[in-house]
Structure 1
Amino acid sequence: KVSPAAFPNSAMMAMDREAALEGGDPVGSGPVVVASFNDRRSWDLPDGWRGNIAADGSAMLRLPEGMTHLPERAFSGCTSLTSITLPSTLTSVGYEAFQKCCSLREVNLPDGLTSIGAQAFFCCRALTSIILPARLRSLGPFAFYDCTSLATASLLSELTSIEDSTFQKCSSLCDLALPAGLVDIGSVAFRSCAALSSVDLPAGLASVGSGAFSACSTLASIEFPPGLACLGAHAFQNCSSLVSVTFQAHLTCDLTCIGVEAFRGCSALASIDLPAGLLSIGHSSFSGCASLSRVVFPDTLASVGEEAFLGCLLANRRVTLPDSAAIGACAFHHATTIVQLPPARMRAQERLFTLFKTCLVHARLRRWLVRAAHRVYALGGPGFKAAEESYVIAGAAQQQQQQQKQQQQQQ
């Protein structure tokens, strides 16, 4: 039996000092054995051992067969531990069991393991790969947080959920295999995984949490399964290499809302076809996507949030919105595009098209005041009346009336 905090910070105050050994094999079954491994770098604990052990400077350790649970903080802070062999009988690893074991390079998880606690391998910065066994059903939040050398993670397990921050800041992670039965990816689960260039989302995935893949700066493409129902806020924010976002258009998609700032700052994204069934685009969802030149909106779209496409050039393209869409303030702020508003749309929020060169085409618009605009172009349809500091965009009939008033004033 290894008790909680058996190896904290590679040292422990012994309750039974007479059991302390210097460099010798641990013997007996006393409550505590304290071993200073100055000359010996490897230890095998004998089968049936029942004492607590604190290791000072240990490098390699083999735990005895028969152990089923490794308690919380058992090896927390063991900075010299490089390798550990876990028994085949082990079924659970406790909270913070290997936290900040900064030299731990290798750990083989037994096939019968079903649970890994929160922060179990937190900040194990020398760990290079991990294979989660097939029977694993629970993986706690922050389990591999800040494992900066972790390059390969095979999650070939029974996991249905990846908890919050599980692999956050694993900056070397480049090879990721997600379990086939995965349903939910938690908040910031893979945030700042800078080496992750691709990821295959399983067919049954229903939810991508807030910031789940944010700041994955080399992620180049992502394809969403048709069953995806939730795309959280900031989910792919600042994925600066993301060039392809694909929804399986030939299948019915359950997604109804794109979260706030979901793709904000994805500066390489050039084109996107939004899925049928989508109802709303959140605040700043595509803000700062400077390369975005093509967006296809579904007929089901009901609202476009504030600043949704702020700074998206959409150069030389016509954006057509469905009849039902409500448009938030500054939705196309700093845009240079032709925007086709639906004939039924008679009102829109302030500063909708302000600044830079924006073209407007609207069959039934009667009056629109756009303040502090640089230039407004009329490309067919309604006429435009310009004042020095503002532009009044008027329908053809109203424009004719205004022209007549001007002529009368000049006379």
Structure 2
Amino acid sequence: MKQIYILLIALLMGLSAKAESSGTCGPNLKWHLTDDGVLTITGKGEMYDYSPWGSSIKRVIIGDGVTEIGNGAFRKCRSLTSVTIPNSVTTIESSAFESCSSLTTVTIPNSVTTIGDNAFSGCSALTYVTISNSVTTIGGSAFSSCSALTFVTIPNSVTTIGDGAFSDCSDLTSVTIPNSVTTIGEKAFSSCSALTFVTIPNSVTKIGEDAFTNNLTKIIWLTNTPPDGYSNVQGSIHYVANDMYTGLSNKKVYPYLSSIFEVDGIKYVPVSPSERTCDAIDCTYTGDELKINKKVNYKGVDMTVREINPYTAYSANIKKVYIENGFTTIGVGAFSSCRSLTSVTIPNSVTTIEYGAFSGCSSLTSVIIP
């Protein structure tokens, strides 16, 4: 019996030793995988497509000298939680990290210029992505079905957002599109059900079909000339600079829309610069108490706030709202879906609370109506 036990131990030790493996993954690249799931890639040059390691990888360390992460290189590595991409990498090929469902964060270095189609598609645990200023193209479905992704900042270097690039990112609440982007592909942000606010910059000339499909999204159009395909964009309200946007419903025209500014977490649009008036149109404030004042000061200039517009603070992460005396109307859906909101104080000057102003405020326990 003792001999059998010793033999089993020797066999198990042999299996453990065999768990470490190595090989080549490019003309001049080598890989080494430890028995605890750490994969290290060394050498210089490009990686092969669809590399040979299995789904047991937990961490990847890519050494300086690797220039390209090949097609499907880490596809379906479902145990992979972290990856270090060095500054030598210029291209992340198609499906490179597709369906890596445990991957939580990714930093794309300044050397990368192209993120291929489906590169991070199906990374359902990915909550945060840093895209460097060197990237010019975000490929089709590059981040599609990243259901935990909440916020994306696209750098000024990007000119094209591919078809379905961020489609089905169900937790995505905010996206910043820079003034370098000229094309937003078909279904680029379709089925992003939590997306509440989008600014279309003046550089955009083409928008694909169903690029934005959430009827509750607030769209600010900084383009003076409507881009090709603009009428396909769905939203709760459209802020536009002129009457050329004939194909949009529920729109408000602000000739000075390009002069939008922010003070204490609220975005305002000038109505009449000579009269120094503006309207509150969006809330970026996150904290305990949001204060909407009748006067704001921006760069030393005092301005009077005329209206609290429809959907101003839609789905904002706020707990209390204080509205200063002087406003007469609280717009349609102004504070709707503020699920953390617990109390509201409405001033004596308010005569009208529009429909849906506080709908979906599931934590609201106290309201003072004058």
Equivalent position to 1:242, from 149, 160, 165: 149
Q: Deviations over 1:59-94 (max 9, x none)?
A: 96xxxxxxxxxxxxxxxxxxxx7645xxxxxxxxxx
- The residue that corresponds to 2:259 in the other structure is none
State the aligned residue count: 249
**Residue in structure 1 matching 2:185, options 268, 276, 282:** 282
1:242-391 correspondence to structure 2 within 5 Å: 242-248=149-155, 253-311=156-214, 313-314=216-217, 317=218, 319-328=220-229, 331-333=232-234, 335=235, 337-343=236-242, 345=244, 348=247, 359-362=250-253
Q: What percentage of aligned pairs have identical amino acids?
A: 25
The verdict on how the C-alpha distance between 1:307 and 1:322 changes in structure 2, with shifts beyond 3 A counting, is: same
Alpha-carbon shift at residue 175 of structure 1 (Å): 1.7
User: Do the aligned residues in 1 keep the contact of 2:207 with 2:230 (CA within 8 Å)?
Assistant: no
The structure-2 alpha-carbon separation of the partners of 1:128 and 1:338, relative to structure 1 and needing over 3 Å to count, comes to same
1:45-194 superposed matches below 5 A = 83=17, 105-107=19-21, 114-116=28-30, 128-133=37-42, 135-144=43-52, 147-194=54-101
**Over the residues paired in the alignment, what is the CA RMSD in angstroms?**
3.4
Distance 2:219 2:208 in 1: 19
State the structure with more CA Rg.
Answer: 1
Q: What is the distance in 2 between the residues matched to 1:163 and 1:216?
A: 17
Q: What do residues 349-398 of structure 1 show as CA deviations (whole Å, max 9, x unaligned)?
A: xxxx5xxxx5123589xxxxxxxxxxxxxx9xxxxxxxxxxxxxxxxxxx
Q: 2:190 touches 2:211 (CA, 8 Å); kept in 1? A: yes
Q: C-alpha distance in 1, partners of 2:55/2:231? A: 40
Distance in 2 between residues matched to 1:363 and 1:194, nearest whole Å: 44
Gap regions ≥5 residues in structure 2:
1-6, 256-309, 311-370
Residues 247 and 275 in structure 1, CA contact (< 8 A), matched pair in contact too: yes
Aligned equivalents of 2:78, 2:226: Cα separation in 1 = 40
Are the equivalent residues in 1 in contact too, given 2:29–2:41 (CA < 8 A)? no
TM-score w.r.t. structure 1 length? 0.54
**Following the alignment from structure 1 to structure 2, what is the Cα–Cα distance between the partners of residues 308 and 170?**
30
Deviations 1:210-265 (A, max 9, x none): 000000001001121111111100000000000121234xxxx2211100000000
Structure 1 residue matching 2:223: 3-state secondary structure: coil
Q: 2-side partners of 1:144 and 1:242: how far apart? A: 29
Q: What letter matches 1:361 in structure 2?
A: K
Aligned-partner Cα distance in 1 for 2:46–2:12: 29
The 1:363/1:129 distance shift into structure 2, 3 A limit, reads closer
Query: Residues 209 and 318 (structure 1 numbering): CA distance in 2 closer, same or farther, change over 3 Å?
Result: closer
Gaps of 5+ in 1: 1-38, 43-56, 61-80, 85-104, 365-378, 380-411
The reply to whether residue 201 of structure 1 matches residue 97 of structure 2 is no
Change (3 A) 1:197 1:58: closer
CA distance in 2, matches of 1:153, 1:318: 39
Q: Which runs of 4+ in 1 moved over 3 A?
A: 39-42, 57-60, 81-84
